[in-house]
Amino acid sequence: MADGNHPPPLFPSSNLMQSESQNQPQFYSPSSNNNMTTTQSAQVKPPALSPNGPFSPYQPGSTDGNHITLGGPSVPPNTVNGLNTSSQQQMRPSLMASGFPPPPGSNNFNQPPMSNIPIRPGGPYPPHPNFTPLAGPQMNGPGNVASRPPFPTPPLGSQTPGFQGPTPPYGNRTPLQPGGAMRPPPPSLSGPGQAPPTMGFQAMSGDTAQSRPNELPVPFHGQGQYSHQVNPHMQKTPTPTPSNSEPPSERSSRGPSPVSGSTMDALEGQFSPGHGSASPALQGNRASPVQSLTPGTPPKMSGGYSSTMQNQQFPPRPGLPPSHPWPGSQQQQTQYQSQPRPPTSQGFPPLPSQATGFPSSQPRFPPHPASSTSSGFPPHPNPQVFPPPPSTSNTAAAFSPPQMPGMPRFQPPPPVAGFPLPPLSSGPLPPTFGASPNTTYAGSPPPLAGAPLQNVPGYSPNVTSDGTMPPQYGNMPPASQGGYPHPQFVQPSFQQPGVGYPNNVNAMTQNFGQMGIQQDAPRAVNLLTERQLIPADGLETSRPVLPHDFKKVNCSPDIFRCTLNAIPQNSALLNKARLPLGILIHPFRDLSQLPVIQSSVIVRCRACRTYINPFVVFTDQRRWKCNLCFRVNDLPDEFSFDPVSKTYGDPQRRPEVKSATIEFIAPSEYMLRPPQPAVYLFLLDVSFNAVKTGYLTQFCQILIEEIDKLPGDNRKTIGFLCYDKALYYFNLAAGLSQAQMLCVPDLEDPFLPCPDNLLVNLKESKELLIDLLNKLPSLFEGNYETGSALGAALQSAHKLMSPTGGRITVMQTCLPTVGPGALENRDASSSAGKNVTIIGPATDFYKKLSLDCSAQQIAVDLFMLNAQYADIATLACISKFSAGCVNYYPSYHSVKNLGMVDKFDTDFRRYLTRKIGFESVMRIRCTRGLSIHTFHGNFFVRSTDLLSLPNINPDAGFGMQMSIEDNLQESSTVSFQAALLYTSSKGERRIRVHTLCVPVTNQLSEVFACADQLAVASLLSKMAVDRSLNSAISDARDAMMNASLDALSAYAQQIPASQRVGALLAPHSLRLMPMFMLAMLKSVAFALAGNPKVDDRVFAMQQFKVMPLCYLIQNLYPHLYPLLKLNEEKVIKHGDEEIPSAPLLQLSSANIDRTGLFLMDTGDAMYLLVGSSVGDQICQDVFNKPNFMSIPDGIMDLPELENQTSENIRSFINYLMDSRPNGVVFLVVRDDSKNRHLFFQHMLEDRSENSMSYYEFLQFLQGKAKP
Residue ranges in 836-895 that form contacts with another protein under rule CB under 8 A: 840-845, 847-848, 851, 855, 880-881
Choose which of 943, 1053, 1059, 1173 interacts with another protein (CB under 8 A): 943
**For residues 469 and 823, which CB has a smaller minimum distance to another protein in the complex?**
823
Which segment (92-100, 396-404, 689-697, 934-942) binds another protein by CB under 8 A? Answer: 934-942
Shortest spacing between CB 582 and another protein, in angstroms: 12
CB of 1026 to another protein, least distance (A): 9
Least Å distance between CB 1019 and another protein? 15
Residue 1080 CB, shortest distance to another protein, in Å, is 22
Q: Which is nearer to another protein, 510 or 948 (by Cβ)?
A: 948
> Binding of another protein at residue 435 (CB under 8 A)?
no
Asked whether 669 and 55 are in contact (CB, 8 A), the reply is yes
Phi, psi of 64 (to 5 degrees): -55, -45
Cα gap 493→515, rounded to integer Å: 13
Residue 372 contacts residue 419 (beta carbons within 8 Å): no
How many C-beta atoms lie closer than 10 Å to residue 1109's C-beta? 27
Of 377, 588, 869, 935, the one binding another protein (CB under 8 A) is: 935
Quick one: how far is CA 893 from the chain centroid?
A: 34
Do 977 and 628 touch, CB atoms closer than 8 A?
Answer: yes
Choices 583-591, 642-650, 925-933, 1078-1086 (CB under 8 A): range interacting with another protein = 925-933
| 576/933 with CB nearer another protein | 933
Query: Applying CB under 8 A, which part among 50-58, 541-549, 822-830, 933-941 lies near another protein?
Result: 933-941
CB of 886 to another protein, least distance (A): 16
Least Cβ distance, residue 222 to another protein (angstroms): 36
Nearer to another protein, 360 or 944 (CB): 944
**Residue type at 641?**
F
Q: Any bridge partners for residue 862, and if so which? A: 810, 886
Can residue 741 be called a binding residue for another protein (CB under 8 A)?
Answer: no
Q: Please report, as residue ranges, which positions from 1173 to 1202 form the binding site for another protein (by CB under 8 A).
A: none
**Closest-CA residue to 223 (of 89, 357, 415):** 415
Nearest distance from C-beta of residue 807 to another protein, angstroms: 20
Question: Cα 791 to the chain's mean position, in Å?
Answer: 33
Q: How many other C-beta atoms lie within 10 A of the C-beta of residue 543?
A: 27
Q: 336 or 940: whose CB is closer to another protein?
A: 940
Q: How far apart are CA 674 and CA 919, in angstroms?
A: 11
**Of 740, 786, 963, 1054, the one binding another protein by CB under 8 A:** 963
3-state helix, strand, coil in the chain (%, to 5): 45, 15, 40
**Distance separating alpha carbons of residues 360 and 354, to the nearest angstrom:** 10
Q: Which stretch binds another protein (CB under 8 A): 20-28, 442-450, 931-939, 979-987?
A: 931-939
Give the max Cα distance, the chain.
90
What lies within 8 Å, CB to CB, of 992 at 6+ separation is 587, 588, 594, 661, 662, 663, 664, 979, 980, 982
* Region from 111-119, 237-245, 926-934, 1218-1226 binding another protein, contact rule CB under 8 A: 926-934
Nearest distance from C-beta of residue 845 to another protein, angstroms: 7
Q: How many residues bind another protein (CB under 8 A)?
A: 25
Identified binder of another protein from the candidate list 709, 725, 775, 942, rule CB under 8 A: 942
Q: Rounded to the nearest whole angstrom, what is the least distance from the CB of residue 240 to another protein in the complex?
A: 44
Residue 92 DSSP code: I
Of 841 and 954, CB closest to another protein: 841
Q: Is 934 in the site for another protein (CB under 8 A)?
A: yes
- Can you tell me the distance from the alpha carbon of 941 to that of 932, in angstroms, rounded to the nearest whole number? 11
Q: Which is nearer to another protein, 518 or 843 (CB)?
A: 843
842 or 1196: CB nearest another protein: 842
Q: Round to whole Å and give the CA distance between 933 and 581.
A: 10
Q: Which one, 575 or 1059, has the nearer CB to another protein?
A: 575
Least distance in angstroms from the C-beta of 1205 to another protein:
53
* CA atoms of 260 and 262, how far apart (whole Å): 5
Nearer to another protein, 338 or 835 (CB): 835
Whole-angstrom Cα distance, residue 540 to residue 542? Answer: 6
Name residues whose C-beta falls within 8 Å of residue 477's C-beta, 6 or more positions apart in sequence. Answer: 373, 376, 377, 378, 380, 501, 502, 503, 1133
Task: Check residue 410 for interaction with another protein (CB under 8 A).
Answer: no
- Tell which one of 932, 964, 1073, 1227 touches another protein (CB under 8 A): 932
Cα 296 to chain centroid, rounded? 38
Query: Using CB under 8 A, which of the segments 578-586, 894-902, 932-940, 1226-1234 binds another protein?
Result: 932-940
**Candidate ranges 216-224, 579-587, 617-625, 930-938; the one touching another protein (CB under 8 A):** 930-938
Q: In angstroms, give the least distance from the CB of 1254 to another protein.
A: 33
Q: Interface with another protein by CB under 8 A: which range of 54-62, 170-178, 928-936, 1099-1107?
A: 928-936
Distance of alpha carbon 1021 from its chain centroid, rounded?
24
Which among 300, 235, 281, 292 is positioned nearest to 46, based on CA atoms?
A: 300
Q: Please, what is the minimum distance in Å from the beta carbon of residue 272 to another protein? A: 15
Q: Smallest distance from the beta carbon of 841 to another protein, in angstroms?
A: 5
Minimum distance, C-beta of residue 943 to another protein, in the bound complex (Å): 4
Distances (CA, A) of 929 to 417, 460, 933, 1241: 53, 35, 12, 44
Report the sign of the C-alpha dihedral through residues 538, 543, 547, 551, in that order.
negative
The stretch near another protein (CB under 8 A) out of 285-293, 685-693, 939-947, 1225-1233 is 939-947
Chain centre to alpha carbon of residue 1242? 32
> Phi and psi at residue 269, in whole multiples of 5°?
-120, -20
Q: For residues 845 and 976, which CB has a smaller minimum distance to another protein in the complex?
A: 845
Strand partners, 1140: 1131
Stretch that binds another protein, among 424-432, 436-444, 834-842, 886-894 (CB under 8 A): 834-842
Of 1104 and 1158, nearer to another protein (C-beta) is: 1104
Residue 811 C-beta: closest distance to another protein, Å: 25
Q: Please, what is the minimum distance in Å from the beta carbon of residue 1229 to another protein?
A: 41
Is residue 944 a contact point for another protein (CB under 8 A)?
Answer: yes
Q: Which of 623, 933, 1185, 1247 binds another protein (CB under 8 A)?
A: 933
Contacts for 362 with CB less than 8 Å, ≥ 6 apart: 26, 313, 590, 910, 913, 914, 1221
Q: Please give the residues from 622 up to 651 whose contact with another protein meets the rule CB under 8 A.
A: none
Cα separation, 894 vs 883, in Å, equals 29
Angle between helices 1254-1265 and 1073-1082 (to 10 degrees): 110
Among 940, 1051, 1239, 1240, binds another protein (CB under 8 A): 940
The reply to whether 941 sits near another protein by the rule CB under 8 A is yes
- Find the shortest distance in angstroms from Cβ 927 to another protein: 17
Tell me which of 891, 931, 1180, 1184 binds another protein, using CB under 8 A.
931
List C-alpha distances in Å: 1138 to 113, 1141, 1161: 52, 9, 20
Of 27, 229, 6, nearest to 114 (Cα)? 6
User: Which residues are at the interface with another protein (CB under 8 A)?
Assistant: 840-845, 847-848, 851, 855, 880-881, 931-935, 940-946, 963
